[in-house]
Structure 1
Amino acid sequence: MFKWLYRLMIELTNHAFSSKLLSRFTRSRVSAWLIPSYAKVYQINQEEMEKTLCHYKTLQQLFIRKLKAGVRPIDPMPNSVVSPVDAVIEDIGVISGQKEIVVKGKTYSIAEMLGSEAAAEKYLDGLFIILYLSPSHYHRIHSPISGTVTKQWTLGNRSYPVNRLGLKYGRKPLAKNYRVITEIGAGGKHVAVVKVGAMFVNTIEWTHPNEHLVKGEEIAYFSFGSTVVLLFEKGSITLDERIVPPMDVKVGERLGFWM
């Protein structure tokens, strides 16, 4: 009963009109009145911010804030794979031979997530990592490895929440929400960085102009909290033994080693 009520409420509110209203509000000067309370409620670490709280004139500016240089050191090991975001690792597992993953008891099709059977083929029996960003997190996205962007594409339009309730009761948000997929290649293998839009605010901005990426470089940002799904080809990564979900990670922390 709760599942259907939850879905009904989301369907009634998750439309282009309400999304535009919320987006317009967060970009308006009126929203600046909420910045102090927002920072307090979500315990924003102001010591890390590039600029002081009073510098931000809208909520959207605070959402996409940058950090001071050096506060997110990138793991220095040459073959390490690092977290692309500040987030909670919600789940880790193996992509099945049927191109499926199981997250919070729900089965997702990788072919649906990536938009085609062909795109999913290379990730069979590979590893997936689910990284959830709450409204309190730093919202910029960085490259998990050094490599080359081999492809980037966009899918979906409307979005369910991607928090724990959304993952449990939503209509497969990781595979159906608005999402931008960036595929990065290195050494003949690939990782897909699937940036999943959150409810209402679907803006995902690509900020890196070149196809060549250095591990830890900024590549994009969310305009609100959301989720990043990492899909690794079989044999491309060995997971660091300390990575056990659920756990908090920050940009640049080592997730494993590129093989």
Structure 2
Amino acid sequence: MTLREGLGRIGAQEDLNFLLTNRLPRRLATQVMGKVSRIEQPLVRDASIGLWRLFCDVDLSDAKETRFRSLHDAFIRELRPGARRIDPDPSVLVSPSDAILGANGIVSAGQVLQVKGSAYRLADLVQDEALARSHEGCAYATLRLTAGMYHRFHAPADLRVDSVRHLWGDTWNVNPIALKRVEALFCRNERAVIRVSLTDGAAMTLVPVAAILVAGLKLGFLPEGHALRETGGRTLPCGAALAKGAEMGWFEHGSTIVVLAPPGYTLVPGLAEGARLRMGEQLLLSPGASR
């Protein structure tokens, strides 16, 4: 096979993937998958979990439970105690989730990268011009959770949650193929804007973005966290104090977290797009941290 033929085959595979995951009726497919994934009948459960493990890179060895009531139960599994080491250095912000590092850099002229060569307005993502301006010149990192990964996310540092705002949206797939083809995709999907303060008063923002199929996200620290869609986009004050590594919430399918760092924080040296991270590993360093 020639190089040209190989590239053509890869392009055809990408087009087919995009067609199957993003040109279907996304909302309907998500609703159907949501219902099927919750079926607890043993034959349906075992078949659906088997298909999931066949087509996705799934590792259940670190799960708290070894048996699951349904596919959904397996999606949102908890970790067994000690399955992740949380970096204790107070000058380090850790990855809030297991993830693949995507676009990252510095917020410039109000924009961040979705993929190389394609930027979107941060204000469109957070739906708040003042909040977007407050992150100008700050580091950001995009963390992509695949369908087979552990789907819960955690506090990147000792912090206080100041507010949460749920933003209704679509259910586009967030895989690299879709990111190349759909402009400002993260700004289209359902998401939450979580504003937090670190112990030194520095402010950062986490934006978990939901995706196709089961979709949805839940926040355990918030009374309304299991019914975010019913909050009508209101900004919800919080005040919950969370220790570094404490669970914040979970996705009901693979998705993305956009991390907007406090001023002066930088990406850990050596991390590059495509790097695989586990929750609790170093992601960002404070201004005074030793490099």
**TM-based fold match above 0.5:** yes
Unaligned stretches of 5+ residues in structure 1? none
Aligned partner letter, 2:72: Q
Name the SS of the counterpart of 1:91 in structure 2.
Answer: strand
Name the SS of the counterpart of 1:255 in structure 2.
Answer: strand
- In 1, Cα distance between equivalents of 2:31 and 2:128: 29
Work out the number of aligned pairs and report it: 254
- Please report how far the alpha carbon of residue 45 of structure 1 lies from its aligned counterpart in structure 2 after TM superposition: 2.2
- Please report how far the alpha carbon of residue 83 of structure 1 lies from its aligned counterpart in structure 2 after TM superposition: 0.3
- In 1, Cα distance between equivalents of 2:187 and 2:244: 26
- In 2, Cα distance between equivalents of 1:90 and 1:163: 10
Matched, 1:206 2:219: yes
- Please report how far the alpha carbon of residue 8 of structure 1 lies from its aligned counterpart in structure 2 after TM superposition: 10
Aligned partner letter, 1:207: G
TM-score w.r.t. the length of structure 2 is 0.81
- 1:87 aligned to which of 95, 99, 107: 99
Using a 3 Å threshold, how does the CA distance of structure 1 residues 228 and 92 change in structure 2: closer, same or farther? same
**Partner in structure 2 of residue 188 of structure 1:** 201
Name the SS of the counterpart of 1:216 in structure 2.
Answer: coil
**Partner in structure 2 of residue 231 of structure 1:** 260
Name the SS of the counterpart of 2:74 in structure 1.
Answer: helix
Using a 3 Å threshold, how does the CA distance of structure 1 residues 12 and 47 change in structure 2: closer, same or farther? closer
- Please report how far the alpha carbon of residue 4 of structure 1 lies from its aligned counterpart in structure 2 after TM superposition: 10
Alignment of 1:69-148 (within 5 A): 69-96=81-108, 98-104=109-115, 105-148=117-160
Using a 3 Å threshold, how does the CA distance of structure 1 residues 4 and 78 change in structure 2: closer, same or farther? closer
Unaligned stretches of 5+ residues in structure 2? 1-11, 223-238
**CA-atom RMSD in angstroms:** 2.3
Query: Structure 1, residues 88-125: CA drift from partner, whole Å, max 9, x if none?
Result: 001211101x2101221211110000012122111001
Using a 3 Å threshold, how does the CA distance of structure 1 residues 43 and 114 change in structure 2: closer, same or farther? closer
Are the aligned partners of 2:57 and 2:148 in contact in 1 as well (CA < 8 Å)?
yes
Aligned partner letter, 1:51: E
Percentage of identical aligned residues: 26
Aligned partner letter, 1:215: K
Name the SS of the counterpart of 2:46 in structure 1.
Answer: helix
- In 1, Cα distance between equivalents of 2:219 and 2:279: 17
- Please report how far the alpha carbon of residue 9 of structure 1 lies from its aligned counterpart in structure 2 after TM superposition: 7.4
Aligned partner letter, 1:70: G
Are the aligned partners of 1:124 and 1:233 in contact in 2 as well (CA < 8 Å)?
no
TM-score w.r.t. the length of structure 1 is 0.90
Are the aligned partners of 2:213 and 2:253 in contact in 1 as well (CA < 8 Å)?
no
